[in-house]
Structure 1
Amino acid sequence: MTSTEKSQQSASASGTALVVIDVQESFRQRAGWQAASDPEVAEQVGRLVDFARARGDLVIWVLHAEPGTGTVFDPLLGYVRPIDGLAAADGEPVLTKTSHNAFTTTNLQQILTERGIRSLITCGIRTEQCVETTTRLASDLGYDVTFVVDATATEPIPDPDAPAGRPLAEVLADPRTLLPDEVIARTRYALAGRFATVTTVKELTGS
């Protein structure tokens, strides 16, 4: 049996998958990442990956791409890849999405169905956007979802009516800006008891 087959067999037996969403180099190229809630979130995600692999859970990697845009999410620039220090192991699917959630533009649900996965653990970047949206949709599809809040990260969100393209200092100085801690708190309130069990890396892994 190959290592890929072993991984698939183990994942099917566990019934749980860790979905790592958009923990990619693209974000580290953005000015807003200087003010991110946890610029070193990859370390927390790495702890979850190690935990999932040790339990025999399937680890699924999801990356966000915006082809042809010339932005840091354009695959041609080379940043649409896991943050340095993280990498998929043999047999771990790596999916590329172009929507906010990880389902709509990928074959994620097919993979989960084929491998008998009914429980998901979600983590990644950005807390309130791709990770929360994936969590909500997964719950609506009938999956039992655990959202690991401190293995997510996000950036400040400017007021929708504020001028675009302002320097980060101006965004942070604007009292209308939602700061990362506020964003994460809102996501926690929105998800807990409705769409997911909200937990921390320590609570989930026991270490």
Structure 2
Amino acid sequence: MTATTDTTAHTPADTALIVIDVQESFRQRESWQAASDPDVAGKVAVLVDHARLHGRLVVWVLHTEPGTGGAFDPALGHVRLMEGLAPAAGEPVLHKTAHNAFTTTNLQQILTERGIRNLITCGIRTEQCVETTTRLAADLGYDVTFVSDATATEPIAHRDAPAGRPLAEVLADPRTLLPAEIIARTEYALAGRFANVTTVKELTGS
């Protein structure tokens, strides 16, 4: 795959913006205090406005973990878009239980029915649900643009670290992978292989 940030060459009808897990659930967790961009919804909103302006489909994806009693359990009411984001009429809202946006939803059916072959991905978390969706989309044959600064993530504790530690202990551990490094690694992994990596400004011109 040849890397490029020029999605304007595509016709509006063949491109969709996939907004992944920009939901209140994350704001309910202590780890969100150390997120790379707690206001990521604002950057996503710019992408949404740009997509609508150019007649592109916007697909909203929310992560759910029914019956868990946690922040992603729909019963608690946090599985909703962050403030400032809202679907327009006709924009699909999908609920997934897997990391990627395809496996447990009808996303591919929606895209196929509309003749969409080019995707723009953004959302939370950079290296988890957004990257996983981007990789799978590329394997399915879609031309994917990953908007890096319209994603956000949180620190990742070392695999041998005790579970359930307070955020302060996680951050004090030198083995913890911090958001800036996570994002950089994701960009390296995706660029030229699975996606065209770009920024909000490069994509929208604003």
TM-score, normalization by structure 1: 0.94
Gaps of 5+ in 2: 1-10
User: Structure 1 counterpart of 2:143, which letter?
Assistant: D
Aligned residues: 196
User: Structure 1 counterpart of 2:153, which letter?
Assistant: T
Structure 1: distance between partners of 2:149 and 2:54: 20
1:14, distance to aligned residue in structure 2 (A)? 1.7
Match of 2:151 in 1: 152
Q: Secondary structure at the match of 2:95?
A: strand
1:174, distance to aligned residue in structure 2 (A)? 0.2
Structure 1: distance between partners of 2:85 and 2:29: 19
Q: Say yes or no: does 1:46 pair with 2:45.
A: yes
Q: Secondary structure at the match of 1:105?
A: coil
Alignment root-mean-square deviation, CA: 0.8
Query: How far does the alpha carbon of each residue in 1:17-62 deviate from its partner, in whole angstroms, 9 at most, with x for none?
Result: 0000000000000100000000000000000000000000000000
Match of 2:67 in 1: 68
User: Structure 2 counterpart of 1:20, which letter?
Assistant: V
2:12/2:54 contact within 8 Å kept: no
Match of 2:34 in 1: 35
Q: Secondary structure at the match of 1:17?
A: strand
1:139, distance to aligned residue in structure 2 (A)? 0.2
Aligned-pair identity in percent equals 80
Q: What are the equivalent positions in structure 2 for 1:35-184 lying under 5 Å apart?
A: 35-184=34-183
Structure 2: distance between partners of 1:121 and 1:85: 20
Structure 2: distance between partners of 1:54 and 1:191: 27
1:191, distance to aligned residue in structure 2 (A)? 0.1
Runs of 4+ in 1 over 2 A off after TM superposition: none
1:13, distance to aligned residue in structure 2 (A)? 5.7
Match of 2:195 in 1: 196
Structure 2: distance between partners of 1:87 and 1:150: 20
